[in-house]
Amino acid sequence: MSNNFEYMDIILLAMIAGFIFLRLRGILGKKTGFTAKSSLNLNKEFSKNILNKDIKKNIFDDEEQKFFLKGAKIAYEKIIIDFANGNLNSIKSFIDHKIYNQFNNAIKERESKGQIFETTFIGISSTLIKDYKEKENIIEVTVEFVSEIISSVRDKDKTILSGNPEKVKKVYDTWKFLKDTTSSNPNWVLIETSS
């Protein structure tokens, strides 16, 4: 009889542990960083859904905005992390030439100074579509992101030059994305950033 209670206790504890794990995962999020698989998800999530019959009727309703923001969040995190890591190849098709050149020049400058960027992406607190414009076949959407990031810059001797590797800071960014509805390229493209 006592063995049955021991098994029940183990099952009950396992259920509680599972519940706590799921709650923590929901609050803290999943592992940061991206793998090849997640960059495929970026292609699918960020490029699908927004360009449909409703958009062609100049309708950017709540449902369309949710689809767009889902992809924009994925793109935002990936671009932030890959820029911090100095890896522009995997995001090249999601940023226009001007932004690519700005990012590339910034990476070259910090490399020439021997600086090391350390970035941990905690998560996105909020996103808001600030503006939506459609002119002929071009759609532009401006999004305000509020995110939490741990970042610091070190020199070659690992001395901290700026930031704090132990402090989470709120970051406010406004990014503008563009989509050419006549293009065979399914991706939205980042064309402007400001903080």
Domain shared by 42 and 26, yes or no: no
3-state secondary structure of 91: helix
pTM of the model: 0.69
Domain shared by 46 and 24, yes or no: no
- Domain count for the chain, please give it: 2
- Greater confidence (25 vs 173) lies with 173
What average pLDDT does range 88-109 have in this prediction? 92
- The dihedral sign for the CA sequence 12, 17, 21, 24: positive
Domain shared by 53 and 16, yes or no: no
Domain shared by 8 and 72, yes or no: no
For 20, the domain range is 1-30
Of 47, 27, 154, nearest to 94 by C-alpha is 47
- pLDDT the model gives residue 13: 67
Domain shared by 15 and 104, yes or no: no
Domain shared by 71 and 123, yes or no: yes
3-state secondary structure of 129: strand
- For residues 67 and 69, what is the distance between their CA atoms, to the nearest angstrom? 6
Domain shared by 8 and 44, yes or no: no
CA angle 182–191–33, rounded 5-degree value: 105
Q: What is the CATH number of the domain that holds 39?
A: 3.10.450.240
Domain shared by 100 and 162, yes or no: yes
pLDDT digits (tens, 9 = 90+) for 165-190: 999 999 999 999 998 888 887 788 99
Contacts of 110 (CB under 8 A, 6+ apart): 116, 117, 153
Domain shared by 71 and 14, yes or no: no
Domain shared by 55 and 88, yes or no: yes
Domain shared by 120 and 189, yes or no: yes
- Is the pLDDT at 16 greater than 80? The verdict is no
Domain shared by 93 and 18, yes or no: no
